[in-house]
Amino acid sequence: MKNKTYQIQIALKNFKPKIWRRVLIPSDLLLPDFHKIIQTSMGWSNGHLHQFTKDHIYYSLKTVDSEFWDEQVDVDYTQIKVSDLLIKEKGKILYEYDFGDDWEHDITLEKILPHDPELKIPVCLKGKMNCPPENCGGVWNYAKMLESLGKPKQNDYSWFFEFIENHFDPEYFNVNEINEMLKTEDYGCFNLMDEF
C-alpha cells in the first residue's frame, strides 16, 4: 500500500478518562520508527522494552540476549511495515511499553488517506490527557495516585508528589509541543518530514 497516509489512533488501555493521540503517518513506515512516533506522541521517554502484537504474534527488536525469544511467536520487527499489520480501516494492533508497568495501547487504523505531497508527516492532529509518569506502577497505581492528588494528607503516595515534582497536570496536552518534538526525531534512514 505505497504512498498512502494512515490516520492512527493511539489509546492507553484500561484507563478513564481516555488518554489518546491521533497521528498521521506514512503507511509504509517501519515498526521501529512507528515506535518512536508513539513514544513522542504519548509522552513516554523510551526507557523500557516494548512490542507490538497481532494475532498472538509478537513483533519486537531481537537482541543477542533475548532469552525468552520464541521463533514460533516472536518476529524481529526491523523490516516490518505498519501496513504489513494494519491493512484495512478499523484494523487494530496492540502496543505494549514497559513490561513491568505494562502500559498497553490500542493502535487503531481510523482512515486510509491518499498521499498528499504538501502534508508534512508524521504529525499529531489531536489528543487528550497527559501521559502518566514513567515507572509509576501501571494504570491501576496511576489511578490511585491521581486520587491522592486531592488528598495531600494521605501518606500512601507521599513519594508520588516528590516523583512528579508537584507540578504534574493529568489533563495537560499540547499538540504543538508534540509536533515540534516529532519534527526533530530521527526516523531510520529517511526523513519523514520530506516527501515519501
Assigned domain for 160 exists: yes
d(Cα 81, Cα 84) in Å, to the nearest integer?
5
142 lies in the same domain as 153: yes
108 lies in the same domain as 13: yes
24 lies in the same domain as 109: yes
32 lies in the same domain as 123: yes
Assigned domain for 136 exists: yes
Provide the pLDDT for residue 196.
34
Provide the pLDDT for residue 157.
56
17 lies in the same domain as 38: yes
Entry pTM: 0.87
**Whether 130 contacts 42, CB under 8 Å:** no
Assigned domain for 191 exists: no
Residue burial 31-68, b: 16+ Cβ < 10 Å; e: rest:
bbbbbbbbbbbbbbeeebebbbbbeeebbbeeeeeeee
Assigned domain for 195 exists: no
143 lies in the same domain as 69: no
Report the CATH number that the domain containing residue 22 is assigned in CATH: 3.10.290.30
d(Cα 97, Cα 135) in Å, to the nearest integer?
11
Provide the pLDDT for residue 136.
87
14 lies in the same domain as 109: yes
Number of domains forming the structure of the chain: 2
Assigned domain for 159 exists: yes
Assigned domain for 157 exists: yes
Instruction: Give the cell for residue 84.
Output: 504489513
27 lies in the same domain as 124: yes
24 lies in the same domain as 117: yes
d(Cα 196, Cα 93) in Å, to the nearest integer?
24
What pLDDT, in 10s, does the model give residues 155-181? 565 666 665 655 778 999 999 999 999
**Whether 195 contacts 117, CB under 8 Å:** yes
d(Cα 58, Cα 96) in Å, to the nearest integer?
10
54 lies in the same domain as 75: yes
75 lies in the same domain as 164: no
How far is residue 188 from each of residues 16, 37, 79, 92, 169, measured CA to CA in Å? Answer: 34, 12, 11, 24, 33
Is residue 16 very low, low, confident or very high in pLDDT (cuts 50, 70, 90)? very high
Pairing of the two strands 20-26 and 123-128: antiparallel
86 lies in the same domain as 143: no
Provide the pLDDT for residue 192.
42
Give the structural domain span for 112: 4-129+173-184
Provide the pLDDT for residue 169.
87
